[in-house]
Amino acid sequence: MADKNRYRRTYPVSWDQLHRDSRALAWRLIDSGKSWDKIIAVVRGGLVPAAIIARELDIHYVDTICVSSYTLRQQGELKIIKSIEGINGENALIIDDLVDTGKTAKIVRQMLPDAHFATVYAKPDGKPYVDTYITEVSQDTWILFPWDSEIQFVEPLIQQKP
């Protein structure tokens, strides 16, 4: 089980920012000169970016790999709930919201060794497992995605110091 206190910072991401960052990832993928005919979203976090990227790249084949590794703000035991059968990843684009420690990405890469792996956000420990990403955040940062949050007042940073 991961140390609860390993996250010292929180990086909140709004729906608008996630959409912009996912489109930026699509631009970067287009600029790579490669093309894909299928997207494999890593569920759950990869679903929203995968839908945006599928639209921007005009890809109509979207499937999922279902992997569970987080419980609240902790990374736990990795569980493969649904894998992909019958493809090795050729012409496939794997999309996830974040690569953190790389544990999930490593397993997904083993399932689809020939796929191109892209994430919207990346942390230093996970970067070696992905081919393309947009924004890097520090390893001790918890990314607060819009599906996990609601708008409310937050104390100024100076008042939050212990």
| Within a domain: 154 | no
pTM (2 decimals)? 0.86
Grade residue 79 by pLDDT with cuts at 50, 70 and 90: confident
Domain of residue 144: give its range.
4-149
Catalytic residue from among 3, 21, 58, 97 = 97
Q: How many domains does the chain have?
A: 1
In a domain? residue 122? yes
Asked whether residue 55 is assigned to any structural domain, the reply reads: yes
What CATH number has the domain bearing residue 68? 3.40.50.2020
* Domain membership flag for residue 161: no
User: What rounded mean pLDDT belongs to the chain?
Assistant: 90
**Residue 77, pLDDT above cutoff 90:** no
- State yes or no: is 96 an active-site residue: yes
Does residue 58 have a pLDDT over 90?
yes
- Mean of pLDDT values over 25-54: 97
| Six-digit token string for 43 | 């569920």
Q: Is 117 part of any domain?
A: yes
**Is residue 127, in this structure, part of any structural domain at all?**
yes
The per-residue pLDDT for range 38-49, each reduced to its tens digit, is 999 999 999 999
Active-site hit among 3, 16, 37, 96: 96
pLDDT per residue as tens digits for the range 83-107 = 888 888 899 999 999 999 999 999 9
Q: What is the mean pLDDT of residues 15-41?
A: 97
- Residues 4/73, Cβ–Cβ less than 8 Å: yes
Q: Is residue 156 part of a domain?
A: no
Is residue 86 one of the residues assigned to a domain?
yes
122-126, Cβ contacts within 8 angstroms, sequence gap of 24 or more: 122/98, 123/98, 123/99, 125/100, 125/101, 126/98, 126/99, 126/100, 126/101, 126/102
For residue 78, what pLDDT is reported? 82
Of the candidates 100, 114, 140, 148, the residue annotated as catalytic is 100
